[in-house]
Amino acid sequence: MAEKVRDYPKLAKDILEAVGGEENVIGVSRCATRLRLVLKRSQSKAKEKVSAMPGVITVVENSGQFQVVIGQHVGEVYEAFTNLVNLDLSDSQSENKGTVLNRVIATMSAVFAPFVYILAAAGILQGSLILLNLLFDDFGATGTYEVLSFISWAPFTFLPIFIAITASKHFKTNTYIAVACCAALVSPTWAEIAAQIADGHTITFLGIALSETVYTSSVLPPLFLVWILSYLEKFLNKNMNEIVRPLFVPFLCMLLMVPLTILLIGPVTTMGANGIANGYNFLADYAPALAGAIIGAFWQVLVIFGVHWGITPMVLANFELYGQDSFQAYQTIAVIAQVGAVLGVIIKAKSQETRKVGVSAGVTGLFGITEPAIYGITLRFKKPFIFGCISGAIGAIVASFFKPYYFAYAGLPGPLTIVNAIDADYPTSIWGILIGVAIAIILPVVLIQIFGYGEDTAKQAGNNSLVNEQGQSGKGLSTDTTTNEEAVTSPLNGTVIPLSDVRDEVFSSGAMGEGLAIEPSDNTLYAPFDGTVVMLAPTKHAVGLRSDSGVELLVHIGLDTVTLDGSPFTLKIKEGDEVKKGDVILTFDKKAIHQQGLETITPIIITNKDAYEEILIEELKDATLKDTLFTVIK
């Protein structure tokens, strides 16, 4: 069994402590890449603390949520986090005081994120069936096709049941009662009744005429049902005798909520979802280029702030009403444009570490997940993100002239779901999307090769690249052509410790780079060479330096000292300052650090080791400011 690359329970615990502890957490949910927390009160510097934690890509505060972007291991962190908190809070604690819009977006995220991969898998299966029908004329008439087809449609047919499960957890109501109510909505018997009504028959409930609305694949009716159910169940539990409560609470909930939904909630919310969908469709039909430009340019901006889930009901309403949707067609182009921007950086970058991050982010982008690409590469360097948005807009505008549509829902639109655009009645659809996708891939690559990809804006310890690789600040990686090696002297006085002996896996494993550690004998950190201060951690415990010839050095004072919020450290410089060898960088209070139960062992790491042929580490027991720690050979 593969070992975990990080201690996820520890990361969950550290995040919980940074945001103010269990008593400050109102709610927790997750999506494909983010741990989403709703907090009573925002905590000073919580964003900086969590962003600096190993395993965290970045933190976004938006839509009433504290969103911790973790990536593919968010599931492990979420599971560990939920084991640390008790979410059965009182009403006064659990009420989200954010705006109505923030609460709507938070709800959509909490409801859809847990099963989005199920919908994505079903969408890929539908796309595969489209391809098989193209390749084999008689395949659609086989029993194999029929079985695979109903498998692919099952998650959408019974979508209200998925919503019942996740919404009941979000609204803190009984999951089994919610499932029972929503299962009634997708009952075949109700579908038969609705069909009779659609044929002109009048069917009443307690004298009230029923509508022909059906609820398979619906979103808002089950969502509103569970929301109102949460209040009804609380009322009944509070006012009913505990002896009869276990039986009569579910009895009354089903008896009241199902008829209320088919009489009022369902028709009204379905009308609302259809109205929004028709509004978008009006724009897409009469100004398709404008619709494409907006979605192609700004879809990834919505992803940054985590508000993209709010569009799901409209898209699903389009598939339910018309069996097709153009929004996801343009959305796919926007997603692929960010993958193209990552590809441009991979081609342009000199740093092997940047290329590695780019390849990893690009692979996840192939599956329609762009957060690693955005936070790891495109937004980090700024220019690639802008080029990606521009390319997405242009690609979508061009595609709009071909009437592009998706004919099967894609949970995560991206390269693997392009086949969802194939339909014999709309032969130009797939060609429009393919042309748009080609533009989305090629254009950002070209723009990045011409204009570069900008400066690295990462400001936290732990980034693989701490400096601008293209030398746009006026200093390139190496301007010294007279020698092929450089000596780096010690920035501290103290006892030398092999990096492998440091009790922190991030450093001891060599993941950050090559180097060693020093147990300081005094309280001062000095510049080990002439160069520039390229990074200062907000908590002052870590410094990134770059020598005039391009050596990138990370000095991390102590272990876990990020938790001290900068109190034992006094900076003598600021970010961007030029320093001379021997200049005082900062001072620190060893005694204060030890009193907090923390170590002052200081890892000293060369973070751009791939820029050099070899790094020679001197064998020393003790180091002074005159001693050479490393010799880098170009």
Beta bridge pairs of residue 515: 605
Mention every residue, 6+ apart, whose C-beta is less than 8 A from residue 301. Answer: 389
How far, in Å, CA of 287 to CA of 397, rounded?
Answer: 10
Q: Is there a contact between 605 and 561 (Cβ–Cβ < 8 Å)?
A: no
Please say if 594 is a catalytic residue. Answer: no
How far, in Å, CA of 429 to CA of 448, rounded?
Answer: 29
Q: Is there a contact between 145 and 139 (Cβ–Cβ < 8 Å)?
A: yes
Helix (H, G, I), strand (E, B) or coil at 542: strand
Which of 170, 181, 556, 594 is catalytic? The answer is 556
Please say if 556 is a catalytic residue. Answer: yes
Report the 3 state secondary structure along 394-461.
HHHHHHHCCCCCECCCCCCCCHHHHHHHCCCCCHHHHHHHHHHHHHHHHHHHHHHHHHCCCCCCCCCC
How far, in Å, CA of 59 to CA of 44, rounded?
Answer: 14
**Structural element, H or E, at residue 92:** helix 91-94
Q: Is there a contact between 37 and 28 (Cβ–Cβ < 8 Å)?
A: yes
Render the burial of 246-284: b for 16+ CB within 10 Å, e for the rest: eeebbebbbeebbbbbbbebbbebbeebbebbeebbeeb
Determine whether 117 is exposed, middle or buried from the number of CB atoms within 10 Å of its CB (0-12, 13-18, 19+): middle
Categorise residue 409: left if φ over 0, alpha if ψ from -120 to 50, beta otherwise: beta
Which of 31, 181, 182, 253 is catalytic? The answer is 31
How far, in Å, CA of 446 to CA of 340, rounded?
Answer: 10
How far, in Å, CA of 325 to CA of 411, rounded?
Answer: 13
How far, in Å, CA of 197 to CA of 193, rounded?
Answer: 6
Q: Is there a contact between 307 and 298 (Cβ–Cβ < 8 Å)?
A: no
Residues with a catalytic annotation lie at 31, 556
